[in-house]
Structure 1
Amino acid sequence: MKLFHSTYDEYYDAGVGEFPLPIRCVRNVALAIVWAFALCMWRARMEDERYMLERSDGKGTVIICNHTSMAEVVSICTYLWRRGRIFRPIFKSEFGSHRIVEWVFSRAGGIPVERGTADMKSLRRAQHALQRGEDVLIFPEGTRIRTDEQPVEVHGGFALMAQMGKTDITPMAVCGFRDITPAGKKVPRPKKCWMRAGEHVSFNDAPEGMKRRERSQWVEDLAVSRMYTLRDQLRAEHPGRF
């Protein structure tokens, strides 16, 4: 890969370890800076992190999480970086309409997805990343959920990614990040927030006799259920925080 003349697709298709050395250095410096910022602002540490770190076969895992703020993306990504995990966030392809944003996301290791479609290119990229040992981070809600009254549409596909990569799904949840930017404000405030990982969901857990599509849906439903259970546990432990 070339430093200045590689296409976005080359970055999406390649492993992070194949990125040019200057790009990897800048990526690490940027992650170190935002990690220090996030640690001071939100002090969020991963609870039950053994579920995030357990890897038995050298493959990555599909991490799913509820979505309330861009701040949690920063906290999760820097957490994984600090633990030596290589991660590939899935992001909406709409961001690709801004060349600077797409340049940054591609060099950061992101993988774009066309929401509402069977985006096989994105699925294949995620599959290859998982097989290389890279984690794939995805927010199934597809957008930030700012109020409990906001309609939520869980986007499928992450279970198929795990199935194609022959790996597990790791559900996790966050709490408190919605509160850092009050309604009508744009500047985030320092607020204690929480992150918690849950037990892996494996395709081996599905009942026998299921067809491929049924098995994928069963795994997807269980993973989402565990994600929301973790979220509700955190909310119950920290009343009034979202």
Structure 2
Amino acid sequence: MIVINHRSFLDPLVVVTLCRRYGVWPYTLAREDFFDKPLSRTVLRVLRAIPALRGRSAMGGLRRAERLLAQGQVVVIAAEGRIVPDHERPDGIGELRGGAAWLAYLTSEMVVLTLTGTDDVWPVERTLPRWKTLDRPIVTVRARRVPLDPGLRGRAITTLIRATMSELIDDA
């Protein structure tokens, strides 16, 4: 399982590209409504995206991710559950949701991966990324393998994810 922060639509593309470079073909979770548009649906299928609903229906996507993890597959999940605008992450990380912690009980370790600079390349308010800029933004990716104690559950895992992300972002 790979747990990422989420600043831009570019994040899953960067993570999947890096994983595939190393021979790993992960599944990602993506908002279900993104599958409604033909172009984004095609991109999401290439990324092996799992439709994720919100609220009470969110468990459907998490259960599919759970089955994939149980089969030995790699699943990428954004711990924040959504793209977090800059003003909602004063310390570099937004509020973490429970999905990553809920899935973590199936694994003995996870990789926590942080991305910075992706929101400079593809800001939330833009339909497409910036292709040409005079001042090229720098995207930084940092990762750490985190072993999981079988006794850890819920908030303890969320706290571990947040602390690891914070350290990785501070190193950037």
Correspondences of 1:79-228 after superposition (within 5 Å): 79-117=18-56, 119-147=58-86, 149-150=87-88, 152-163=94-105, 165-181=106-122, 187-188=129-130, 189=133, 190-204=136-150, 206=152, 215-228=153-166
The offset of 1:113, in angstroms, is: 1.4
* Pair 166,141 (structure 1): closer, same or farther in 2 beyond 3 Å: closer
The offset of 1:184, in angstroms, is: 7.3
Secondary structure of 1:203 counterpart: coil
Q: Which runs of 4+ in 1 moved over 6 A?
A: 182-185
* Pair 126,167 (structure 1): closer, same or farther in 2 beyond 3 Å: farther
Normalising by structure 2, we get a TM-score of 0.79
The amino acid across from 1:135 in the alignment is V
5+ residue gaps in structure 1? 1-61, 207-214, 235-242
The 8 Å contact of residues 108 and 147 in structure 2, kept in 1 or not, is answered as no
Q: CA separation in 2, counterparts of 1:192 and 1:159?
A: 30
Bigger helix fraction: 1
Q: CA separation in 1, counterparts of 2:49 and 2:129?
A: 25
Q: CA separation in 1, counterparts of 2:124 and 2:52?
A: 29
The amino acid across from 1:169 in the alignment is M
5+ residue gaps in structure 2? none
Secondary structure of 2:76 counterpart: strand
Percent identity of the aligned residues? 24
Q: CA separation in 2, counterparts of 1:160 and 1:88?
A: 17
Secondary structure of 1:81 counterpart: helix
Bigger strand fraction: 2
Which one scores higher on RCO, CA 8 angstroms, separation ≥ 6?
Answer: 2
Paired positions, count: 163
The offset of 1:81, in angstroms, is: 0.5
**1:78 aligns to 2:17 (yes or no):** yes
C-alpha RMSD of matched pairs (Å): 2.6
Normalising by structure 1, we get a TM-score of 0.58
